[in-house]
C-alpha cells in the first residue's frame, strides 16, 4: 500500500454534459448514484450494458461512437446505462464493484446478463481502436447474449448524431484549478 494519497478532481457537469448526452441520445440512462447502479443491475434478469464514460480521448474517439454504432445492431441489451468517471464517483465505484474480476478502468464497457458480467471491454481493449472496430466487437457480444430487437434509435436519428472530440487533459487541468480554488 502506498503512503501517498492523491486527490482526484471531479469534472464540472457543464464540461461533461455533451459527452454524457452522446450516450443518452442512443438510449442510455445516466446513473448518478451507487443505489441507482445497484437497482439497475443487482438481481435483474436479462441483459444490461453499462458504459463507464470518460473525458479521455479513447472515450471520445472510440468508446462513445463505437457503443452508439453497436446499438444499431439487430440485437441489443434490454437496458442501457452509463456512469461518468470523475463525475458520478459513487455510481462508478458501484459499477466497478459489480464488474467482479476486472480492474478499474475508464472508459470501460460491461455487458451484464442476469446481474453478472457476461463480457467486459476494458480501456486497453478500446485504446487505439476505431469506433467501427469497437462496434463490431460489441455487436458480436450482443448477438451472443442479447435478444431484444435493435436498433436503440432509428437509423435516421443515428445518422444525424455528431460526437464530441475534446482533449480530456484540458478538462483535467480545469478541474484541478477549480479544486484549488483558482477557477
Across the chain, which has 183 residues, the per-10-residue mean pLDDT values are 58 86 96 97 97 88 94 98 94 96 95 98 95 97 98 96 69 59 61
Residue 55 confidence (pLDDT): 86
Residues with a catalytic annotation lie at 56, 58
Written in H, E and C, the secondary structure of the chain is CCCCCCCCCCCCHHHHHHHHHHHHCCCCEECCCHHHHHHHHCCCCCEEEEEEECCCHHHHHHHHHHHHHHCCCCEECCEEEEEECCCCHHHHHHHHHHCCCCCCCCCEEEEEECCEEEEEECHHHHCCCCHHHHHHHHHHHHHHHCCEECCCCCHHHHHCCCCCCCCHHHHHHHHHHHHCCCC
pLDDT at 165: 67
Domains present along the chain, CATH in parentheses: 18-146 (3.40.30.10)
CB atoms within 10 A of CB 140: 13
141 vs 144: CA distance, rounded Å = 5
pTM: 0.86
pLDDT for res 119? 98
pLDDT value at residue 133: 96
Amino acid at each position: 500500500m502506498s503512503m501517498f494519497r492523491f486527490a482526484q478532481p471531479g469534472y464540472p457537469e457543464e464540461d461533461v454534459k455533451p459527452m454524457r448526452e452522446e450516450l443518452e441520445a442512443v438510449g442510455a440512462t445516466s446513473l448518478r448514484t451507487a443505489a441507482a447502479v445497484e437497482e439497475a443491475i443487482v438481481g435483474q434478469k436479462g441483459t444490461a450494458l453499462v458504459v463507464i464514460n470518460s473525458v479521455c480521448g479513447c472515450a471520445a474517439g472510440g468508446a462513445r461512437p463505437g457503443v452508439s454504432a453497436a446499438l444499431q445492431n439487430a440485437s441489443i441489451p434490454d437496458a442501457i446505462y452509463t456512469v461518468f468517471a470523475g463525475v458520478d464517483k459513487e455510481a462508478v465505484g458501484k459499477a466497478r464493484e459489480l464488474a467482479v474480476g476486472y480492474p478499474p478502468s475508464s472508459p470501460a464497457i460491461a455487458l451484464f446478463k442476469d446481474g453478472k458480467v457476461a463480457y467486459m471491454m476494458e480501456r486497453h481493449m478500446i485504446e487505439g481502436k476505431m469506433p467501427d472496430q469497437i462496434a463490431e466487437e460489441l455487436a458480436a457480444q450482443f448477438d451472443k447474449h442479447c435478444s431484444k430487437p435493435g436498433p436503440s434509435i432509428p437509423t435516421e436519428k443515428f445518422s444525424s448524431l455528431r460526437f464530441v472530440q475534446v482533449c480530456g487533459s484540458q478538462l483535467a487541468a480545469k478541474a484541478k484549478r477549480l479544486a484549488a480554488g483558482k477557477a
